[in-house]
A and B are shown apart, each in its own frame.
Chain A
């Protein structure tokens, strides 16, 4: 709680001088300020900063569950660099991430455009299209596991028996040729509404006069989109793409539930490999090295993104 000016004046000169000095250095609201942020600081230190630092240390050790760690420097990282299975997981992670984010971006723009066009029941449609974003991801992943099922799944039923465009069913998640595309499809399905709703919010912020001026100049719909809409939502697009890149790269649930990285490692992505190394093989040090391997890239992405998010708030 800060001290109001009136009570300050009634105190002795020495006390008052000290309080005024503190106020000058620490800011006028420092008492209430520090009191209010203390819980956050404690939580962040104990639940994020400490584990994070500990993770960096553990990644430089041989650590088995239940045994004390043995320091080995960068050995885990060096070994991983030449490990074929790890290399493949890195490539898979990039395919999974950029394949998903690209389609989510396109679908998000489409979603925002149709939701701002002249339609009835706009909030109803918006609400429906947001469902994948709010539903529990585990539930959605289990739904798709069932839909994609090779023998009893409804996707094969639709394609083979109803639409008759395929002679026989496909084991979508169990065949190497279709597994990655299937998990990417589920990630797109789950994530595109976030792109759409964010772009929608951005488009609402574009002044109508800009569109009117463009119309007066005889701009076509495509021109208006390129020269008014896109510049208007550019910052939001950057933020959403970066956020989604981080989330998708670190997505664990969808791949874990649908394929566990299989068949034959074709969908093994880095978070699932980290999990398997830690809790399947019980090698914690190496598992954390898997999780932290791309930390420099992640750190740069987070810094850039945080900067964009802060400036977006200030406007």
Chain B
């Protein structure tokens, strides 16, 4: 009797904490969405605060018609997709070698990859900028595509090393006993089995590249070549912030990440422990 009461209290408390945390977590996104459907007048006179009446779409129209937003969207997509494909390809084969193959220097290289993953961009951005300048890649999307693997590749590799280690080695051994080469065992047995993990790693890399700010801020000086995060942030440099279209842009920037996240959620909750996710 007493135990049941205690556990009811505990469950009630858990729900209380959950709802509190959820409100704090969701509110900024709710607020961003609500703001994106308000006009100047509604914002300035603090009317219809929590649900815009009327709902207006003019911020979105203005954003698409009067700013370079669509251009930035295309830039972000170009940079994120190319650097993701590169990172996933390089990371997948590299992770397989570091997780499974026996060769001299493997342990050292695995450690080096992990350490690279831990080196923060804030100590690399100035020399990388100097490097891109001397290669003639500053102020171009090519420079970003070339620079983003510095964080996506070690990340994908570290993530997939764990994934490959979890696949039973007997499967490859069986394939090789049946006459497959080492490469055949990787290509025909391990790779198909790892497809979900490779996809998850690729999507993570995509969201990281999509969200990246510092390199894009530093490397790109031409307004038309900006990526979304830098483009959005550039709306606040003037004295008059266009909060309406800024928030409309924020909504549209968040959407692809949320889509990727819906697929990724089960991986984040299930298998991935500390250090697998970079932010």
Q: B258 contacts which chain A residues (CB < 8 A)? A: 134-135
Asked if A106 is at the interface of the complex by the 8 Å CB criterion, the answer is no
Interface residue tally for chain A (C-beta within 8 Å): 107
CA separation between A276 and B165, bound complex, in Å? 44
B31 on interface, CB distance cutoff 8 Å: yes
Contact, CB under 8 Å: B114 / A309:
yes
Contacts of A137 in B (CB 8 A): 211, 213, 229, 279
Q: How far is the CB of B41 from chain A (nearest CB, A)?
A: 12
Q: Is A99 interfacial (CB-CB < 8 Å)? A: no
Determine if A197 and B104 form an interchain contact, defined as CB atoms under 8 angstroms apart.
no
Proximity bits, B45-68, A CB within 8 Å = 1, else 0: 010010000000000000000000
Contact of B218 with A by CB under 8 A? yes
How far does the alpha carbon of A54 sit from the alpha carbon of B266 in the complex, in Å?
Answer: 41
Contact B229 A134 (CB under 8 A): no
Contacts of A126 in B (CB 8 A): 265, 269
Cross-interface CB contact of B14 among A41, A44, A119, A295, cutoff 8 Å: A119
Tell which of B21, B104, B254 touches A129, judged by Cβ atoms closer than 8 Å: B21
Q: Which of A74-82, A142-150, A175-183, A206-214 faces chain B?
A: A142-150
Kindly list 16 other residue pairs between chains A and B, CB separation below 8 angstroms, not including A193-B25, A240-B274: A28-B103, A29-B102, A32-B183, A43-B149, A51-B127, A58-B126, A113-B14, A131-B29, A134-B260, A139-B232, A140-B28, A146-B246, A197-B277, A249-B120, A287-B126, A291-B123
Which residues of A from 140 to 182 have beta carbons under 8 Å from B?
140, 142-147, 152, 154, 157, 161
A118/B11 in contact, CB under 8 A:
yes
Q: Which of A117, A123, A198 contacts B265 (CB 8 A)?
A: A123
Complex alpha-carbon distance, A1 and B118, angstroms: 31
- CB pair B126 A134 closer than 8 Å: no
Which residues from chain B sit less than 8 Å from chain A, CB to CB? 7, 10-11, 14-15, 17-18, 21-22, 24-26, 28-29, 31-32, 35, 43-44, 46, 49, 89-91, 93-94, 96-98, 100-104, 106, 109-116, 118-131, 146-147, 149-150, 153-154, 157, 161-162, 165, 176, 181-183, 186, 207, 210-211, 213-214, 218, 228-230, 232-233, 236, 241, 243, 246-247, 250, 253-254, 257-258, 260-261, 264-266, 268-275, 277, 279
Which one, A32, A54, A251, contacts B182 given CB within 8 A?
A32
Q: Are B126 and A143 in contact (CB under 8 A)?
A: no
Contact of B123 with A250 in the complex, beta carbons under 8 Å:
yes
Q: Does A95 contact B (CB under 8 A)?
A: no
A281 located at the interface, meaning its Cβ lies under 8 Å from any Cβ of chain B in the complex: no
Inside 8 A of B126's CB, which chain A residues have their CB?
55, 58, 274, 278, 284, 287-288, 291
- Contact code string A287-312 (vs B, CB < 8 Å = 1, else 0): 11001100100100011011001101
Set of chain A residues within 8 Å of B122, measured between Cβ atoms? 250-252, 270-271, 274, 291
Residues of B within 8 A of A36 (CB): 93-94, 96-97, 101
* Residues of chain B lying within 8 A (CB to CB) of residue A89: none
A85 in the interface (beta carbon within 8 A) = no
Interfacial chain B residues near A138, Cβ < 8 Å = 211, 213, 229-230, 232-233, 253
Name the contact of A135 in the complex, choosing from B29, B91, B116, B230 (C-beta under 8 A): B29
CB distance A292 to B123 under 8 Å? yes
Residue among A34, A110, A142 making CB contact with B103, cutoff 8 Å: A34
